[in-house]
Chains A and B, each alone.
Chain A
Amino acid sequence: MNKVIAILFSLAALLLLAVAGLLPWDIVGVSPNTIRWVTQSEEDVFGYDVYRGASEAGPFQRLNEQAIPGGGTTDLPQRYAYTDDTIESGKVYWYYIEEVALSGERSRLTPIYASRPKAAYFW
């Protein structure tokens, strides 16, 4: 029994140290935000860009270096996902998806969505 209590105390201490940023190694993480979207059909789509802002009003920055490849022209549903692993715990982020056409034209595909704040976790 005493051993169990000691382990729990140790974990609690580690947690406090981690939150305070006093540990010499990084055992704190935040699960990423994953943005998913589905298109029912596409016409002349080159790809998609994911934009993120710290508030609904922006400013927004493109997250992906290269376009997320689109389905071109199709009447079949296409599923996409982008994982944002550059977030900080406890913060709300705002995202939207932009469609990039073969003509180079860019148009917003989605409204602006807010993410839920993520808590830090330990591993």
Chain B
Amino acid sequence: MNVAGLIRCSALILFSSTPLAAQPVYNIAVAEDGRYQVNFEEFQGLESPVSCADLQLYEQGKPVPFITNDGGDGLFDRGDSIQFVGRRLAGGRSWYNENSRHNIYQLRVADDAQYPSVVSPQPVQGGILHHLEQDKLRVALPRAKLPRQVERWYWQRITPLDDDGFRQRLNWTEPPEVIRVALTGLSYDQHATAAGLPQHRAVIYLDGRSVAETEWNGQDSITVEVSTGSLDSLASEGALLEVRIPRRDIPGTDQYLVDAVLLNWLELEYSSLPQLVDTIPSRNGNRRLKVAPGWLAPSWVARAPQNAGLAGTERQADYIMLSHPALIDALAPLADFHRARGLSVEVVDVQAVYNEFNHGVASPGAIRSFISHAWQHWQKPAPHTVLLAGDASWGREQDVALSRNLIPTFQVLVGGHFAASDNGLVSVFGDDWRPDLAVGRLPAGNAAELSVMVSKLLRQAKSSPDAQWRTRTAWIAGAEPRFKAISDAVSDLVDQHGLSQARIYPDASSSPGDQSRVIDVFDGGHALVHFLGHGGRFVWRTGPQDLQGATDLFRLDTVQSLTPGHPLPLVLSMTCSSGPFDHPSASSLAESFLVAPERGAIGVVAASWRVRASQRFSSRLVASLLQPGKTIGAAVLQAKRGERRRSLVEAYNLLGDPAMVPDLGGSR
């Protein structure tokens, strides 16, 4: 059956006007535009037979036409299937969505279905579009006109360094009328501007023949259109498209110009095609989209969690623990502990949040909507603390089972580049960027990792560290005088509270003795460790990065060499990039502190991208932590709410349980 037929039939079969809260609900994940078929057997746990009249299909809460292949008996049973036109999840400013690979179609079984208002599809007037795009590179463009609004994912970087540039075989049964190539500038060589040359020059070839040349500047995006009508003898079965950036030199020198360009997407436009079998109407109906031939299988089908009433107003919680279903059992002991402390705790399945706040589609925005709703509309007292139990990942893995994106986070621009930020998830009141609730994350990629973290937290919380331990703090600073000065000033705060301070201020070249002293800080038992200086994803340093690692003071692998034991410190890692928790495969120093069994740290405050050292921010944080009974999360919240630099507020995250009380100086 062709798609036109599908639309006609389905319009007669079903077009319900309002979504109903019937159960069960199945989420069908769709990655690309296309025609999909899902067999009965994929709806696991669906009791048969089901009357076809009780089936409803929704996308974003709106009914979607579909066909039930029921063999003519009116019952959805073994051997039957449903078919529908599925659409990719589009981004706000991009072909694909920035946060999720999958659009979700929800199949509901409802015996009170409202029947149907027949809608006749409008004939499509426009041409046929074949869009080609692969999201392989994540790139920030801080010099674009609207850096927060430009697309983030690109197909390929093209430079003169590449012998062949970008190459893509285009297949067609007859040549398109127009070929479009979307390019974005990456480099911005000032020498070109000074010499009166464009910063970018790109040449487009079809089957080795130059068909277009374009020039532009900066990190702007352009679309090059090639009208094939002006080209003679274009092959009838397809062509090799190439985009090359020619090498250019700076006039009067022996230096080359820097020219780097990003290829975003390609489009082929046809006024008509002899067959419409492999096309679907576009969402706005003004043209048709060429799609993969045949019936596609969805990426996955899963039964949605039962409606938990999260979007209602009956619930009350002091502490919301948001977790992935695979981790909820491992989280339970921590929830029980806090309930025993007297907190009302809600453990919430993130899938339920997606279902109730975003029609099943995963997104950090759905999490923020949920937290905002709970904070504003649940019973008082409103929740004040949120734990995100699960890792995040900016990767775009197709296989959800391989993804570590269990509890997504926001990607914000800090210093022009991407930084993972949980801050926006709890910035729910007003239009500012400051947080309104305390938040922390346990960045576990699986239940075993979460169990390690929970075990450390519970052992620390249930034991009674001796009074001496609670008064010991350690202050480690890089070699530059400004770092030592800030460290001195902040550590004076703990001095005023009668806490002891071990200060480790190495010279510019780190010695083995310095490294041992830092290890001794952890092994010797300190309640608080504050590092201020140069650092990175895997390292604290005494100076800027060098090529021999001569300034390395504490590295990722050092965590494993720490002596197992308790209690464990709270670490304030006030340096660049020591806490990005959202890489698809690479760890970070902050994550390693948490995930290491029986060693490391009980919690870490760390930045997910480059930040400036700030005496004010460190001082506010430490002063808050010194307040008797204050939780770690509340201390971070207080420090952020008093901070005027957005980059610090957004880049610093708490990895740990925000409801834990650090107990500095024995305040517990």
Contact = CB atoms under 8 A, between A and B. Distances in A.
A50 B160 CA distance: 18
21 contacts: A37-B547, A39-B545, A39-B547, A41-B536, A46-B159, A66-B161, A66-B256, A72-B139, A75-B537, A75-B577, A75-B580, A76-B586, A100-B258, A101-B258, A102-B186, A102-B187, A102-B189, A103-B187, A103-B258, A105-B190, A106-B255
B255 to A, nearest CB: 8
A102 B188 contact: yes
B258 A40 contact: no
Interface string A77-102: 10000000000000000000000111
B581 to A, nearest CB: 12
B192 A104 contact: yes
B220 to A, nearest CB: 14
B319 interface: no
B136 interface: no
Contact of B537 (A37, A72, A73, A76): A76
A118 interface: no
Nearest to B257: A104
Contact of A104 (B159, B258, B538): B258
Contacts of B255: 106
Contacts of A105: 190
Top 7 nearest A-B pairs (CB, nearest first) are: A104-B189, A102-B187, A75-B537, A40-B545, A104-B258, A104-B191, A75-B577
Contact of A67 (B140, B161, B186): B161
Contacts of A38: 547
Contacts of A104: 187-192, 257-258
Contact of B545 (A41, A46, A67): A41
A54 B255 CA distance: 21
A69 interface: yes
Interface string B248-280: 000000111110100000000000000000000
Contacts of A41: 536-537, 545, 577
A43 B465 CA distance: 43
A76 B188 CA distance: 24
Interface in B151-175: 157, 159-161
Contact of B256 (A40, A67, A73): A67
Contacts of B254: 62
Nearest to B415: A43
B539 interface: yes
B247 interface: yes
A53 interface: no
A103 B161 contact: no
B649 to A, nearest CB: 20
B417 interface: yes
Contacts of B160: 66
A70 to B, nearest CB: 10
Interface in A16-53: 37-41, 43, 46-47
Contacts of B140: 73
A73 B258 CA distance: 16
A101 B480 CA distance: 26
A46 B580 contact: no
A46 to B, nearest CB: 5
A48 to B, nearest CB: 11
Contacts of A10: none
A112 to B, nearest CB: 13
Contacts of B256: 66-67
Nearest to A101: B258
A103 B217 CA distance: 12
Interface string B128-161: 0000000000011000000000000000010111
Contact of A102 (B258, B537, B586): B258
A110 interface: yes
Contact of A46 (B187, B247, B537, B539): B187
Contacts of A109: 547
Given A46-B187, A102-B187, A104-B187, 5 more contacts: A66-B160, A67-B258, A102-B186, A103-B188, A104-B257
Nearest to A41: B536
Contacts of B161: 47, 66-67, 69
A3 to B, nearest CB: 51
Interface string B564-584: 000000000000010010010
A102 B536 contact: no
Interface in A53-76: 62, 66-67, 69, 72-73, 75-76
